[in-house]
Chains A and B, each alone.
Chain A
């Protein structure tokens, strides 16, 4: 199969790699992570059981991407390969969107169906009459049995126009800075590129920091915890998974930045940069959804 001699790249052919150990290492890494989690949750082992898996995953990502970046730097990838990567990334992001859709679905279901039903509205009058007579079914709630919250099972929510609003501003700004960085890259202004890329991931990490602070407050003062009924459940699962994605995104931005400093990427070809940018816009959009439906309305 004629392709890519690292030195004399033949861009007329679609590059098919031969023999990669990384996929099997990767799947074994995932397996180890899962086994660690299982052992931990079943009290078969301490939290340390996550370590080997985490380590392997790190090695896998490092090794795999090292190879891909190397091949890319050698110009082995023709535009068709590039397109494959782009499509792949787009559909991956779409699957992420659907993952969040599940949790948004849970939020909407709780707010428009289960909570009102428990409150005796709609078709489920007897649910309230027979089982939960004293429950109004208003949002926010930790349920008719007032699960979790403070010792008196009360809790408060985080007002939308405090930290969350600031976080919104931060993420939106980061969306702008990365776009500026992209234009700079296209125009070949490496300095501006590096600067605004740095700004972007700094904003990203700031966001994560503020979220962490917010969580701390929620747990200590507001009685708002993962276990605070359906509000706590939906709140922390949605913002939590989002926060996780922001962290991952910010780390990817950091890596991209390091690559920029090493002189990677050309004004024409910079798939990795764009992939990360798309990902960043995706976490941005998800946040808007969160801000509106979790914090605001």
Chain B
């Protein structure tokens, strides 16, 4: 029976797969977790594949047994029930023990990776990330740089109800922002994540980082992008935060250390001389006040 429905799934999968090349992303990246560009994200990917294959293996055995029974022991095939098979303590013990072993085998590497992820020491750059309805505020602590990052106007326009604009014509529809977060590669960057109004969650799959932004509390997270992998990395808010939860993407612009330092210097200077009273746009001001209730 499964075989039949599985075939149906397979067919549809193929049908859909045929349409895939239409998009920039390769077929595989649409089927599985990204390996990402950090040591941690790769470890997570390996962990994910490990559990996946373990489950597949178990599935082969268990489903195999089920299918075999379904095919072999059919009444229509004249099978007669052996009603003596009612219980057997030994097998019960065996199939309790084996899973225990398997689970331990999974738990150990998982625990190791987790310990590593939780180690927030020896970070070289600290950025305060504040989620608000609906966007992000990035504050390079004591580097005099702080700015807001919102959905880019193009996407924002196209996503209006019945806007008539074809999302396929928008580059990086819903995954683009006005001001990306700029970070250096090959650096252990620490994020201090908090929320201004409701809970949000800062998630960039390529870094294997997802941390909730909780109002009134600060969560720590960190990433260290491979030195040879500068580029743009995209993510989205991963905690329902109201009407526009689906429209507060995250874009990280990873640059070489020198480029980053240069950018930071310019940005700091620019923000210094822009720091004249009237220049701060109203919405920004208002959301900063909400952004950090205790700044004052």
7 contacts between A and B (CB under 8 A): A117-B217, A124-B218, A129-B218, A130-B292, A131-B217, A131-B218, A144-B216
CB distance from A189 to the nearest CB of B (A): 57
The yes or no answer to A127 lying at the interface (CB within 8 A) is yes
Q: Please encode chain A, from 113 to 136, with 1 for each CB lying within 8 Å of some chain B CB and 0 for all others.
A: 000011000001011011111000
Nearest residue, chain A, Cβ from B128: A130
Nearest residue, chain B, Cβ from A117: B217
CB distance from A38 to the nearest CB of B (A): 23
Q: How many residues of B contact A (CB 8 A)?
A: 10
Taking A130-B192, A131-B194 as contacts, is the C-beta distance between A124 and B294 under 8 angstroms?
A: no
A129 to B217, CA, bound (A): 10
The yes or no answer to A81 lying at the interface (CB within 8 A) is no
The yes or no answer to B231 lying at the interface (CB within 8 A) is no
Closest 4 CB pairs of A and B: A126-B218, A127-B218, A131-B294, A127-B217
A130 to B194, CA, bound (A): 10
A145 to B296, CA, bound (A): 12
Contact A133 B294 (CB under 8 A): yes
The yes or no answer to B220 lying at the interface (CB within 8 A) is yes
A145 to B218, CA, bound (A): 16
Interface of A toward B, CB cutoff 8 Å: 117-118, 124, 126-127, 129-133, 144-145
Nearest residue, chain A, Cβ from B215: A131
Nearest residue, chain B, Cβ from A130: B218
> Which of B194, B218, B220, B293 has the largest number of chain A CB atoms within 10 A?
B218
Contact A131 B220 (CB under 8 A): no
Enumerate chain B residues within 8 angstroms of A145, measured Cβ to Cβ: 293-294
CB distance from A136 to the nearest CB of B (A): 14
Contact B192 A118 (CB under 8 A): no
Enumerate chain B residues within 8 angstroms of A133, measured Cβ to Cβ: 294
A129 to B141, CA, bound (A): 12
Enumerate chain B residues within 8 angstroms of A124, measured Cβ to Cβ: 217-218
A132 to B128, CA, bound (A): 15
Nearest residue, chain A, Cβ from B190: A126
A1 to B194, CA, bound (A): 66
CB distance from B122 to the nearest CB of A (A): 16
A133 to B192, CA, bound (A): 15
A132 to B293, CA, bound (A): 9
Taking A131-B292, A131-B294 as contacts, is the C-beta distance between A118 and B128 under 8 angstroms?
A: no
Enumerate chain B residues within 8 angstroms of A127, measured Cβ to Cβ: 216-218
Contact A118 B216 (CB under 8 A): yes
Enumerate chain A residues within 8 angstroms of B192, measured Cβ to Cβ: 126, 130
CB distance from B118 to the nearest CB of A (A): 9
Nearest residue, chain A, Cβ from B217: A127
Enumerate chain B residues within 8 angstroms of A131, measured Cβ to Cβ: 194, 216-218, 292-294
